[in-house]
Amino acid sequence: NAGVTQTPKFQVLKTGQSMTLQCAQDMNHEYMSWYRQDPGMGLRLIHYSVGAGITDQGEVPNGYNVSRSTTEDFPLRLLSAAPSQTSVYFCASSYTGSNQPQHFGDGTRLSIL
């Protein structure tokens, strides 16, 4: 039962470096999303995808890119990391439809120095 797998679990970057956070799910879910979690602010949606080849922006998309070339994978890219992007990042997936619960990965803790 792999579910949603995120790698790496921890990463430290210098300002200006690029980085790709990986997310994979083995449940054949159409919908995948990325959230960031900051202290006292809950989780906020960065980008989402309703299927392979389709992506869209969430609440806080600036500084992040995504692509969805396969149903299983949904990587999140930071092209030029900034200290404000220090956060814990969560990937989630579900079947489409508003009554489908989302399954979350265990997160990637990212620090930008």
Residue type, 2: A
Look up residue 64 and give its two tokens: 């992040």
* Minimum CB–partner distance for residue 100 and other proteins (Å): 6
* Minimum CB–partner distance for residue 42 and other proteins (Å): 4
Of 40-99, which residues contact other proteins (CB under 8 A)?
A: 40-45, 48, 50, 56, 58-59, 90, 92, 94, 96-99
Residue type, 88: V
Smallest CA-to-CA distance from 28 within 56, 45, 4, 46 is with: 4
Residue 34, strand partner residues: 47, 91
The residues of the shown chain that bind other proteins, judged by CB under 8 A, are 4, 31, 33, 35, 40-45, 48, 50, 56, 58-59, 90, 92, 94, 96-107
